[in-house]
Every structure is written in structure tokens, then in C-alpha cells.
Amino acid sequence: MPIRCAKLTWLLVAILAAAFGPVGRAAGNSAPPPDSATASNQADAKAAKSSPMRGSKAEPVDQLGDPLPPGARLRLGTLRFQHPRGVQDMVLSPDGKSIVTIGGSLIAWNIATGKKLWEVNANESGYETNGPRYGDCALAFASHGRWLYMPSQKDKVTIRELFTGRQRILSIRPAHHNYRSIAVSPDGTKLALGSAEGVLVCDQQGTTLYEIENHPQGPLGKDRGDRLAFGGHYSAGVFSPDRKTLAVATSDNPNIVRLVDCENGRELRRIALANRLVRMAFSPDRQRIATTERDNAVRLYSVATGQPIWSHVVKLNNIFENYTSAVAFSPDGKIVATGATDNRLYLCDTATGDEVGRLSGHHWYPWCLAFAPDGKMLYSAGWDGTIRRWDVAARKQLPPPTGARTSEVVAASPDGQTLAYADDRNIVHVVDAKNGSDRRTFEVPDRAFSALAFSPDGTRLAAGGAGTSPAEGEVHTEVWEIKSGELVCRFRWPLGRDPHSSIEEFAFAPDGKHLAAAVFRQSAAYVFDLSNGIRIARLKHN
């Protein structure tokens, strides 16, 4: 995702470094999961009070007790449940107490607190995380939840102990594949490993039991620059909950799902899809398969007959790419959840295919979904790197387990005494630069923020961005009086052709009477007269 406010972020760092120390990021220390959220929070508070020593001085920590980088004195928000890059895959432990994400780094998180258990470099293990692709499934748990499985170097699988991250390597025999996907059978006795050559099923000793071959003809086509095809040919398998069936997708026939006998690989039947498969999942009762397909649809098929049950097409209008992605069943099998390139999650009734919920909050494409074991909470992650929690019944996003999640959108007042930042829920906070305490908050319903700026005298704040999804369709700018909270001016205009258009940077005139805004993907700057609330110029760039 383009970092639209990098200049403001580095400006803030420079101001803080000069005034009272820089703002930065740091990873939390690894620790086994606590018994409860209460115990974890108490432990965090205790750690904050009795932090480790560096020489004669205590190591600085943030409000949750997580260490700060050298020289930093303040962190706005928390790094918990925030993957450092886009998330390419995510898996929830069977007991619902831990979640693991991969994307550059491989990180295990404590569900109760959002704190890291451990972090390793995923690429060093041999699994390249170059973004979502057809057929990729990087992570899988064994049913007991202690061991995490991941394809690694050629003909090898890395098996990690969940609580410590310690690893061992399983070698696959015979050896001749680079694997991109993995699934573990519910009883933990078999692995299904996908590669460009097909799906190989082996036992826990790495001995091959059978293979479902892929026979591609020529290179994988990249229709309309389809980035999901950039990884080349692929295969993937998914086990049914009753351990009897393996669903297999291969790039030689991307509109087909083969159902085979889990024990011997004998083909049982085929499901003819309406379009190219993106992701698939078995229902908890193993009677149905839900798919996301490249024509922006989520569909349900019968395992017994291979026939379609219903089709729900999501209306998407991204001019660059449109598709549905992740798909997951609720534990009771009544809801099918899916992600889409309008940054939303959609909930469909499994019986009818009707949409029963729509969840907004991701800043870029959601790619991974997982329901909690009791079905009350849905976890999602994707290209924006954030692990999000959703109340399924209330159809709303929940805050992080601990702390507040901020964004890259920050600004400092000219005197360095006040900071402003936009949090992940699109609320602008004006805070004391010494301790981060809120002085005032601002919010515009259904609007996100990508830029902030203080007036030269520090009394006003300009904030702007775009709608919370492409459907909102306009760029916006607001100017507030900080002390009173009064709205001084509001300006709105269409996104234009590009749905990613947004405010990139603001600049006040020295006397504070005019405001200029540079707009991302519109090749233009706008100038506003704040005394009368009128736009006085549109300066087009070449």
C-alpha cells in the first residue's frame, strides 16, 4: 500500500528528536501465553513499573510495558496485533488462544493481549512472502494446536512449537518439489503439500502416500495483469473435517475442484466452478464447499453431488482489480464470511446465500479470515498488516485487546508541545506531546484520514483523506479550531477515476488564512481560502 504520509511521519520523528526524543517502533519480548487477559494485563503493568536496566537507567517502555527504541520517550498507540508488513496468511490455534501471521516475518500473537509470543524471519526459512497468490496457503495447525506447519526449503516442512517458536525440519521423500501450500488432516496423520507439480500427500514421517498431479500447458496466463497469477503454476489441497475427503485445486484446470479419497487419492467426483478459484473451505459438517471465484463471487457447492447451491456476486468497482478472496465458515455452519477488494468483509447466510452483514474497517484488501471456536468473534488480516477483531452478532469492529491502534498519519504543532494523529478507527486525536494524553478528538462519519497539519500559530488543525471505501467516492478536508472543537471549514470533491485518490499533504500559508492540499492520484493541488470557505485554485500537475 502506498505510504502517503511518509513525509509527515519522518517530520514528526525529527521534531520529537529535537524537542524531547524520537518516536519509534519496537517488538515486544517473547513470552508464553497467560491464563487470562486480566493476568496478562497485570503482568504488562508490572513490567512497565519494573523494566529491565541498561547500565544505571531503566529501559524506556510504552504505556503497556512494551520496550521503546533507544532514545524514544513516547509511543502513540500500540504495536500489538500489527504485523510489520502485509499479511499473506493467518491461522488461529484450535483452542482460540493464539494467532499466527506471515508476511516477511512469521509472528505468533497472544489473543488475550495482542502481544507477540515470538517473531522470526519467514523468508530465511525458504518460504518467499511476495504477496498473495493463487494456491498459496503458508500455515496450518495440527488439531491439538501445539505444532505449526509451514512449507520451507525445497522438499522440506518447518514444524514450530507454538509457544516458543522452536523449530524442527521434516524432509519429504521422494524429494523434487518446492511447496507453496500446506494442509494438515484433522487427525494430524497426513500433510497435503501443494506445488507447481501438484498436491503431494505424505505422513508425519515425510513418506509420500500419493500425488495428485498438475499438468499445465505453457506459462500461467496473467489476464489483465492479474497479480494473483504472478507466482506461476500452483496446486493446493484442503482436508474435509471428517478426514474422508481432500479437495484439490490445480492451475491446469483452475475452474475445477477435484474431490479425492483422503486415504488413497482416488478421485470421487469433480465440482465445476463458474470461474477461476481463489480460495475454498469445507463447511463444518463437510457437506458443502464454499469458494471465492475470480468473477467477484462467493459460491456454495454440494460435496455429495458437485452441484452449485447458490451464488452471491459482490458488486465491486475498483478500476485496477476486483475479486473476492478469503472465505471461512462460522463454527455452527450458518454464516459464510468472505473478503473483497473494496476492503470489506461480507457475511452470507449459508442456507440462502443472502448477504446478512457487511464489515468495513480494513484500509487495504483483507486476505485472511478465521472464526473463534465459539463463533462469536471473527479475525481478519490482509494487505494493511493489521489483525482485526469483529463482533459477529453486532456486526462491528472491536478495538485491539489492549491499547489503541494508531496509523501513519501524524503531525506536530510548530512549538512541539502538541501532536495529532489519526487512529485506526478514523478518529483524530490531539494529544500532549509529553505524555500522549488526549486533549481533543475529531471524527467525520464514514471518512478516513491520510494527512494532518497544524496552522502556523498552532490553534487550528487541518485533516483530510477520502471515504472509508471506494464506494464513498469523494476526497474531503476539514479545518477545526482546536481549543473549542469548532468546525471552521469543510471541503469535498469527487475521487475521480482513481479510487485511491486522497489527500497526500497539507501546507498552510504563513498567515494561516489559506490552505493548500496535494491530492494523491489526481495530479493536482488545491488552494482554499479559510476566511470564507471557498476553493480558490486548482493547480494541475503534468
Whether 32 has a pLDDT exceeding 50, the answer reads no
pLDDT in tens, 511-532: 999 999 999 888 899 999 999 9
Whether 93 has a pLDDT exceeding 70, the answer reads yes
Give me the pLDDT at residue 224, please.
Answer: 57
Whether 251 has a pLDDT exceeding 60, the answer reads yes
Computed over every residue of the chain, the mean pLDDT equals 87
pLDDT in tens, 380-408: 999 999 999 999 999 999 988 988 888 88
Q: What mean pLDDT is predicted for residues 50-60?
A: 52
Name which residue leads in pLDDT, 71 or 36: 71
Whether 3 has a pLDDT exceeding 90, the answer reads no
Give me the pLDDT at residue 425, please.
Answer: 83
Q: What mean pLDDT is predicted for residues 150-178?
A: 90
Kindly state the greatest CA–CA separation across the chain.
78
Q: In Å, what is the CA distance from 203 to each residue of 173, 191, 193, 261, 313?
A: 10, 6, 11, 15, 39
Residue among 362, 450, 457 nearest 83 (CA): 362
Q: What secondary structure does DSSP assign to 238-298, as a single string?
A: EE-TTSSEEEEEETTSTTEEEEEETTT--EEEEEE-SS-EEEEEE-TTSSEEEEEETTTEE
Give me the pLDDT at residue 221, please.
Answer: 60
What domains sit in the chain, N to C, each tagged with a CATH number?
Answer: 6-28+406-540 (2.130.10.10), 89-272 (2.130.10.10)
Percent of the chain residues topping a pLDDT of 70: 88
Residue among 309, 190, 301, 300 nearest 244 (CA): 190
* Residue 56: CA count within 13 A, CB half-sphere: 0
Of 15-19, 150-154, 463-467, 468-472, least confident by mean pLDDT is: 15-19
Whether 290 has a pLDDT exceeding 60, the answer reads yes
Q: What mean pLDDT is predicted for residues 50-56?
A: 38
d(CA 463, CA 447): 11
Q: What mean pLDDT is predicted for residues 32-39?
A: 36
Whether 8 has a pLDDT exceeding 60, the answer reads no
d(CA 194, CA 528): 56
Q: What mean pLDDT is predicted for residues 476-493?
A: 96
- Strand pairing of 57-58 and 89-92? unpaired
State phi, psi for 529 to the nearest 5 degrees: -95, 115
pLDDT band at 469 (very low <50, low <70, confident <90, very high): low
Residue among 325, 368, 358, 362 nearest 343 (CA): 362
Whether 39 has a pLDDT exceeding 60, the answer reads no
Give me the pLDDT at residue 470, please.
Answer: 53
Name which residue leads in pLDDT, 371 or 73: 371
Report residue 338 as a C-alpha cell: 468472505
- Strand pairing of 396-398 and 98-103? unpaired
- Give Cβ neighbours of residue 484 (< 8 Å, ≥ 6 apart): none
pLDDT in tens, 322-369: 999 999 999 999 999 999 999 999 999 999 999 999 999 888 899 999
State phi, psi for 43 to the nearest 5 degrees: -65, -40
Cis check for the bond before 241: say yes or no (omega within 30 of 0).
Answer: no
Q: What secondary structure does DSSP assign to 101-166, as a single string?
A: EEESEEEEEETTT--EEEEEETGGGT----S--TT-B--EE-TTSSEEEEE-STTEEEEEETTT--
Q: What mean pLDDT is predicted for residues 445-451?
A: 90
Q: What secondary structure does DSSP assign to 355-384, as a single string?
A: EEEEEE--SS-EEEEEE-TTSSEEEEEETT
Whether 55 has a pLDDT exceeding 80, the answer reads no
d(CA 53, CA 58): 4
- Strand pairing of 524-529 and 534-540? antiparallel
Whether 70 has a pLDDT exceeding 60, the answer reads yes
Q: Is the pTM of this model over 0.85?
A: no
Q: What secondary structure does DSSP assign to 164-229, as a single string?
A: T--EEEEE-BS------EEEE-TTSSEEEEEETTEEEEEETT-BEEEEEE----SSPP-GGG-GGG
What does R_g of the chain's alpha carbons equal in angstroms? 25
Give me the pLDDT at residue 443, please.
Answer: 93
Whether 1 has a pLDDT exceeding 60, the answer reads no
Quick count: other Cβ atoms within 10 Å of Cβ 187?
A: 12
d(CA 213, CA 325): 25
Give me the pLDDT at residue 467, please.
Answer: 80
Whether 114 has a pLDDT exceeding 80, the answer reads yes
Q: What mean pLDDT is predicted for residues 416-443?
A: 93
d(CA 149, CA 413): 48
Report residue 149 as a C-alpha cell: 506447519
d(CA 214, CA 481): 63
